[in-house]
Chain A
Amino acid sequence: MKSRKLAGMSPVIPIFLCLIIAIILPLIFKSDLLLSILCEIGIMAIFALSYNMLLGQTGLLSFGHAVYYGIGAFGTIHTLNILKHHSFISISMLPLIGGLTALLLAIIFGFVSTKKSGTTFSMITLGLGEMVHSCSVLIPDFFGGEGGISGNRMIMKPDVFGISYGPQIQFYFLVLVWLIISAFFMFFITKTPLGKMANAVRDNHERAEFIGYNPQKVRFYMTVLSGFFAGISGGLTALNYEIVTAETLNAGTSGIVLLMSFVGGIGSFFGPIIGAVVITMMKIFVGGLSKAWLLYLGILFITMVLFIPGGIAGILKSQSILWSKVSPLKLIPKYLISCIPIICASLGVILVIEMTYVFLGNDTNVSQAHLMIAGLTINTSNIFPWIASVGAIVIGKKLFELYWHYSWVPLFDILDKP
């Protein structure tokens, strides 16, 4: 009974809430930006979930997962272009074609990559990813060269329900349906013997071998299945943008999905969805404000790896365990106080980066002395702002450590006591 309580809040209620928000949000706010962000998030969520089948569930760190995503996208867009008007298959089912294309590729690639586990697996996936990327330059007929391959998702007549996927909102609900279906099946896989064996292979492949399972086969099946779901998300991307370029399968995309899964939390099933939401928002909002957004993402990622290996889902999990003992209302002041040093240090980091950008002026080729930020003008040739921002980082870090030690650690100690 006690262990049940310590497992934290059941995720069923938050998931339902999220689902309702995901359905209602585009109906209330009729904004194109919101819709396109939501579509992107939905697609990336499937992709990140499929990635976590490898990283979180089987312990395989892949640096070439975008290969399946990209090939699914190309498979879908080619099918779309071939089908044109003889429509014996509905647009709604096209992502499945993407999934199957990726599945085929995953069978071939999985044969090579899953021969090894651990570090070697990572290097092989990286190599395979680079190989496909080089191929994309060599075979412009299939990969579309520089311009990519475009298609039109509105080639079919509206079906019985009047759905033509012309309006973005109709397409958004298609993404949502695919997300629910894929998430359901991926969750189902974690409950099957294969999913359990994947966890066993992750934790100790020798013991898995002792009870009669071939770890290589388990890795292979997981790679193939995860490739399939990555292909589905690729197919949705193809339909969403109606253009596919070789960029979808390069190392950058593989890196982003890794970041999403990890930042969201690889330890829990739904963590990668959180990561997909956070990083897509960051890409759109921070990317719009600063050229250094990848640097911020890198810093966030490294901080997570070093200090919060459970990701955002890990934080939520440990906090929800706390809520079962201590009233959440009592914790609110603690949250607010914890935020102060974090904000202080983050502001310091942002200022240092932005001031360096302006001071060196390599990006704009114009060396300016003044940084305009949030209505303020900062003279970067003056030493004082530099000292202040570095000081903010140091003080923020120190304060957080102190507060953590004196305020949070005793709280977690209460949990450990019987």
Chain B
Amino acid sequence: MEFLLTTIWNGLSYGLLLFMLSSGLTLIFSMMGVLNFAHASFYMLGAYFAYQISNWIGFWPALIIAPICVGILGSLIEKYALRRAHKYGHVAELLFTFGLTFLIEESVHLIWGRSAVDYRIPALLDFSLFNVFDTSYPAYKGFMMLVSIGMLLALYLFITKTRIGLIIQAALSKPEMVEALGHNVPMTFSLVFGGGVALAALAGVIGGNAFITEPGMAAAVGSIVFVVVVVGGLGSLIGAFIASLLIGFLQTVFVSLPTTFFDLGHFLGLPIIQSSGLGKLTLTELVPLLPYLLMVGILVFRPKGIMGTRES
């Protein structure tokens, strides 16, 4: 029971964070057909901006200002560079965003140094929310979930209920028609790119202090976000949601399993030698591998992803 509750608590907070990242990526992809390879780099920028701003004026303003700054930066990049790469096709766009990861990581090295910065949870939220069976549940994880859910609800309402949201939805499927009706589609693209990137930055603001803010954080989370998008089905928000939670839960469950392969083999009746490399391997050590195994499994058995609609 205790194990179950802890797993749900941690898995949900991590899964929702992943979804904040992958939802922005999915939105940008389904609208512009651009896979933003640098998405996780904007997540990192969000964390660093929040660190810098909270040093100057505190965490709460940073929570709002940092994503906005990153969003504006993203829109500018879309307007002045990505649009140029778009002329040369999808490979060029992907290459451009790949180059961007290099630039952002090296700029972070340049400005904030190569080691982790001291970006902390605000004192106001640094307490345990409740205790169940000796395990404390940190309030910050609850706050993370609250922000993620609030953000996603706001996004949902924005896209389905507002005028701009409806134009975005229309531009998703028929950009030429929307343009013919007199709407500024390129500006909408900038807006979506900026918005998606701001979403990643917000995830960075609340994730950076929960985990660690260092130059390697983009690479660490980046490939997992891509796995989420592939597993969920490219371009499907619901698929991304399911996949994010799935990976969040899977990783949290495995982290708390000290079972070795020897025990597992014993249980299943497989002859695995205790002292061998495999016998000593614990399930916890498999955690970094899990998302990729899941991806391979999905690709072999259901190539279009959980909720995907397109084959190729």
Contact = CB atoms under 8 A, between A and B. Distances in A.
> Is B truly associated with A?
yes
Given A294-B106, A356-B111, A134 B288 contact: yes
Given A122-B35, A128-B292, A357 B110 contact: yes
Contacts of B281: 138
B90 A295 contact: no
Interface string B97-140: 01110110111011111100000000000000000000000000
Contacts of A374: none
B281 to A, nearest CB: 7
Contacts of B107: 295
Nearest to A117: B312
A202 B65 CA distance: 43
Given A123-B226, A127-B223, A302-B99, A292 B106 contact: yes
B110 A356 contact: yes
B230 interface: yes
B277 interface: yes
Interface in B213-252: 219, 223, 226-227, 229-230, 234
A309 interface: yes
B102 A127 contact: no
A83 to B, nearest CB: 23
Contacts of B103: 295, 298-299, 302
Contacts of B94: 61, 119, 122
Most buried by B among A123, A258, A291, A305: A305
Interface stretch (B67-75, B80-88, B199-207): B80-88
A301 interface: yes
B268 interface: no
A255 B223 CA distance: 14
Secondary structure call for the B interface? helix
A202 to B, nearest CB: 9
Interface in A76-126: 112, 115-120, 122-124, 126
A137 B296 CA distance: 19
Given A112-B299, A131-B289, A134-B288, A294 B112 contact: no
A402 interface: no
Interface string A353-375: 10011001011010000000000
B285 interface: yes
Contacts of B29: 119
Nearest to A141: B277
A177 interface: no
B112 A362 contact: yes
Contact of B92 (A117, A124, A138, A309): A309
Contact of B91 (A61, A116, A141, A363): A61
A212 B295 CA distance: 30
B293 interface: yes
B64 interface: no
B106 A305 contact: no
B303 A134 contact: no
A127 B98 contact: no
Contact of B95 (A61, A130, A135): A61
Contacts of B85: 305-306
Contacts of A118: 90, 312
A124 B296 CA distance: 8
Nearest to B103: A298
Given A118-B90, A305-B85, A131 B106 contact: no
A123 B109 contact: no
A211 interface: no
B96 interface: yes
Contacts of A353: 110
Nearest to A298: B102
A155 interface: no
B221 to A, nearest CB: 11
A373 B92 CA distance: 35
Given A134-B292, A299-B103, A305 B35 contact: no
A258 B99 CA distance: 10
B58 to A, nearest CB: 23
Contacts of A138: 281, 285-286, 289
Nearest to B222: A126
A130 B292 contact: yes
Contacts of B226: 123, 126-127
Nearest to B292: A131
A254 B299 CA distance: 22
A139 interface: yes
Most buried by A among B37, B106, B229: B106
Contact of A294 (B102, B111, B230, B289): B102
Interface of B: 29, 35, 37, 81, 84-85, 88, 90-92, 94-96, 98-100, 102-103, 105-107, 109-114, 219, 223, 226-227, 229-230, 234, 277, 281, 285-286, 288-289, 291-293, 295-296, 299-300, 303, 312
| 5 cross-chain pairs, A with B, having the tightest CB-CB distances, nearest first | A362-B113, A298-B102, A131-B292, A295-B106, A302-B99
6 contacts: A61-B94, A115-B303, A124-B295, A295-B109, A360-B111, A363-B114
